[in-house]
Amino acid sequence: MNSKLRFIISLLSTILFILLASSLTAQNLEESTGPTLLSGPDFSQLTASSVTISWETLEPSNGFVAFGVDSSLPWVACSLEMKKNHAVNIDSLLPGTRYLAIIGAFDVDGNGPTLSEVVPFTTHEEEILREDSTGAGFFVLPGDTVIDVGTSLQFTAYYKFPNGTTVDTLAEWSLRGKSIGSITENGMLHTLTPGFAHVKATLGDKVVATKVTAIDTSVDDSGVNTVSIGRVLPNGKLQHPKTISEGSTYKLHGFPSPLNMLNGGFIYFPSGCLDEDILIHINLPKCAKTLGDSVDFDHGIVTGVQFDVFVNDSLVHPYYFKKPLIVSLPIRKGVLKKLNIDPVNLGMFFMNDDLFDGAGINFTVVDSSVERVFSLVAHFSTLIVKEKEASVISGIETVGVAEPANAFELLQNYPNPFNPE
């Protein structure tokens, strides 16, 4: 049996355990005696969307890199050649995002994996073109949009000249963020799974992006759990709740003062996010200050909302979902101007007393054109929006939580025996 086959068999055993456990994490990836790791993971050629990860072993080996945005490490890249120095290039990463990576190495007899420490790396922020004061520039249509899973949508790039003339133009298309599907070289997006991502168009040194949210509206009602949602009235009583099912979107709209600041947002409950029926009370967070029809916050908070979740009339705080929800909250330009905050620096956080925690919130997207913040949210308690610097608790930088993987996304630019396709 050659070394590559032994490596594949050993790694297959590891993957089988992971798949049975539903997701790969730094905790359930078990180490066994293998080659000695001298260094790694080391990170080089870091950009907004890619990185080269390298490592060295004392004796010839092969191995893999498992990586993700938190202790859930759903993506794998392999180095199959038996050698001491390894390097794999990983692309299609999110800009300005912190990832975690771990190395697993196997020796010539297939023993292992020897595991490295879990080490973080952060991709560079990506500069997105903004139109100049004349309104001229490179842009994409449609703008931010919502699309059903399993459908397609054509995107087109345009260039507007200072004299007002607008023409369509060729562009290089790519999809960044959560893997919701694929996009062709002509800008045709095909959606496969729920989530949200950026459709990015590149023309020379010009880059623009628009956000797409893919939702699953074809839900089998048998065995599907329900969500009843109502706002808390000023007198403390609960408004008659509206009931929806998993796989549905709850729009935040029609709220009178002071909750009217939430109008225009939404919550998407993906299929499989619940294993029980729940009731949600929507209220202002305790840090909110109301004066007449106006709402203000301390701590530089831009906006916030409190979600209290009840199961069988009992409050569960915080309430963790089986799959992260997509939450969109409106932001107010007047508040941003008052606080001197650039929209691109905003983030979404959980708030507990006076502490702000980003763990459990992932893939935050700020769209200043429609004054919205979007995030994947792992649990419900108090959500607030403020500057990203708030993601430090007691001097420790927090990390977002990724959606647990129910399968591996295996990079196509490397030989990989586990690609289901």
Counting the structural domains of the chain, the total is 3
What b-and-e string marks burial along 198-230, b requiring 16 or more CB atoms within 10 Å of the CB? bbbbbeeebbbbbbbbbbbeeeeeeeebbbbbb
Residues 326 and 373 sit within 8 Å (Cβ to Cβ): no
In a domain, 277, yes or no: yes
Given 158, 189, 215, which residue is the final one in a domain?
A: 215
118 and 149 assigned to the same domain: no
17 and 40 assigned to the same domain: yes
119 and 149 assigned to the same domain: no
Instruction: Report the predicted TM-score, pTM, of the whole model to 2 decimal places.
Output: 0.47
- Supply 211's token pair: 């956000």
d(CA 330, CA 319) in angstroms, rounded, equals 23
| DSSP track, 121-175 | EEPPPPPPP---TTS-EEEEES-SEEEETT-EEE-EEEEE-TTS-EEEE--EEEE
Given 158, 193, 215, which residue is the final one in a domain?
A: 215
In a domain, 295, yes or no: yes
Q: What is the DSSP letter of 345?
A: G
29 and 159 assigned to the same domain: no
In a domain, 419, yes or no: no
193 and 243 assigned to the same domain: no
116 and 25 assigned to the same domain: yes
In a domain, 399, yes or no: no
- Residue 290 Cα to chain centre, angstroms: 32
In a domain, 131, yes or no: no
Location of structure tokens 């994947």: 376
For 6, the 3-state DSSP assignment is helix
374 and 247 assigned to the same domain: yes
d(CA 358, CA 365) in angstroms, rounded, equals 14
331 and 364 assigned to the same domain: yes
In a domain, 271, yes or no: yes
Tell me phi and psi for residue 390, to 5 degrees. -75, -5
In the chain, the largest separation of any two C-alpha atoms, in whole Å, equals: 77
- Supply 283's token pair: 């209220």
176 and 231 assigned to the same domain: no
In a domain, 266, yes or no: yes
20 and 53 assigned to the same domain: yes
211 and 257 assigned to the same domain: no
203 and 230 assigned to the same domain: no
Q: Which residues contact 86 (CB under 8 A, 6 or more apart)?
A: 40, 54, 55, 56, 57, 61, 62, 63, 79
Residues 35 and 59 sit within 8 Å (Cβ to Cβ): yes
184: domain CATH number is 2.60.40.10
Range of the domain at 84: 3-125+406-410
In a domain, 397, yes or no: no
- Supply 262's token pair: 């939430």
pLDDT one digit per residue (tens) for the chain, 421 residues: 455 555 554 554 444 434 333 344 444 455 567 889 898 899 888 887 788 899 999 999 888 888 887 656 667 777 778 889 998 888 777 777 888 888 888 888 778 788 888 888 888 765 444 433 334 478 888 887 888 887 889 999 888 887 778 888 889 998 876 567 888 889 999 887 777 788 888 888 788 888 888 877 665 555 689 999 998 887 778 888 889 988 888 888 888 878 888 888 889 888 888 989 999 999 988 888 877 667 878 778 889 999 999 999 899 989 999 988 888 898 887 788 888 888 778 888 998 877 888 888 877 777 665 678 888 899 999 998 988 763 333 222 233 333 333 332 333 333 333 233 3
Length reported for the chain: 421
Given 215, 249, 276, which residue is the final one in a domain?
A: 215
